Structure 1
Amino acid sequence: MARDGGQVIRRLDSRVVYRNPWMTVREDRIERPDGSSGIYGVVEKPDFALVIPAEKGGFHMVEEYRYPIGRRTWNFPQGSLPGGVDCDPELLARTELAEETGLRAGRLEHLGFLHCSHGTSGQGFNVFLATDLVPGPHAREHEEQDMRQRWFSREEFWELVDAGRITDDSTVAAYALLLRHEGAFG
């Protein structure tokens, strides 16, 4: 039994089936608590930072074409360092904000840590609220060359969700952490 009361799945062996500069995919042979065996596919990616750049009752967001879903969508600025390099989450948040939007945060507040796709990956993300924003030039990576940026009101945020223009689960989850931070949830 695990400390949290859940059953433990034991890894018997593991092999890398795919690797590129952004991710590794491995297949683990496992043994379940009842002794039966199986396999588990795991995507390994580094944790990332997500930043909510807030001012004037709304947020700055970025939009880009997302190849896996075949369309453009809006989300809060987010990312990790190239090559899976680890760094301080606050430094990563400041870097991603400046790279993608050109904004610099006078104040950065940590709102929490969440996991995304925890059924297939251990990747998680730190959520930060950025305020006291100062504009500057962006420095987008080559892969972000089609990225656009725009400010949205809170009402427009939910209109984008309703219209299917925000489908990023990390963005919606981060917004929930912001609402909790603001006292909207008990």
Structure 2
Amino acid sequence: MRPDFDQPIRQMSTKVAYESPYMRLREDGIVRMDGSEGVYTYVDKPDFALVIAVEDGGFHLVEQYRYPVRSRSWEFVQGSLPGLVAGDPEALARQELMEETGITAGALRHLGRLNCAVGMSSQGFDVFVASELSHGEAAREVEEQDLRHRWFPRGEVEDMMRDGVITDNATLAAYTLFLLRTPPG
């Protein structure tokens, strides 16, 4: 009998194997297309917002230490709400931009929605372009005390991507959306 490739894997049970204020590790009992049973383990995290802040032919980036990879990382502004809760993506984008950089966007345009790591996490994110920027004081959370904010010209950002300085997958994917959905010029 030929498997039905249109039928998804069926969830038979679920349990939280571990939970913290930032994520859950979930174990689901599943039945595959061929009828065999198994376990699928994945990270369950709330969605986040990512903001491409555009100004004067360049972009505002933040750099912070990312513990899992034990190195600093230049990225577009991004973040989620605390306590494993979901919220309005646009409001979250505005909040993260202000908290991390002190910037307020006069205009915010939604570029699209992406998923981070479809094979191991439920987390997705909404990408926004911020323009008509006003500058103020950042209001960083305690986890962001090492965060640095800097504006870069577009060519330098692209060089950083090309040279492997920027390796954050969400930043790279968001920039691809930016290139595809923003008219040249």
Quickly name the TM-score band, shorter chain normalised: over 0.9
After superposing the two structures, state which structure 1 stretch, 155-164 or 40-49, moved more.
Answer: 155-164
Once the two structures are superposed, what CA deviation does each residue of 1:5-27 show, in whole Å capped at 9, x if it has no partner? 73311112122111000000011
Q: Percentage identity across aligned positions?
A: 56
Q: 1:120, CA displacement in angstroms?
A: 1.0
CA distance in 2, matches of 1:98, 1:6: 44
CA distance in 2, matches of 1:7, 1:18: 29
Q: 1:182, CA displacement in angstroms?
A: 1.7
Provide the residue aligned with 1:23 in structure 2.
23
Q: 1:154, CA displacement in angstroms?
A: 1.4
Provide the residue aligned with 1:57 in structure 2.
57
CA distance in 2, matches of 1:79, 1:36: 38
CA distance in 1, matches of 2:145, 2:13: 40
Once the two structures are superposed, what CA deviation does each residue of 1:93-114 show, in whole Å capped at 9, x if it has no partner? 0000000000000000000001
Q: 1:163, CA displacement in angstroms?
A: 3.1
Provide the residue aligned with 2:158 in structure 1.
158
CA distance in 2, matches of 1:180, 1:6: 30
Structure 1 runs (4+) greater than 3 angstroms displaced:
none
- Give the total of aligned pairs: 180
TM (norm. structure 2) is 0.94
Provide the residue aligned with 1:39 in structure 2.
39
TM (norm. structure 1) is 0.93
CA distance in 1, matches of 2:146, 2:164: 19
CA distance in 2, matches of 1:71, 1:6: 41
Once the two structures are superposed, what CA deviation does each residue of 1:59-92 show, in whole Å capped at 9, x if it has no partner? 0000000000010010000001110222211100
Mark the runs of 5 or more structure 1 residues left unpaired by the alignment.
Answer: none
CA distance in 2, matches of 1:44, 1:87: 16
Mark the runs of 5 or more structure 2 residues left unpaired by the alignment.
Answer: none
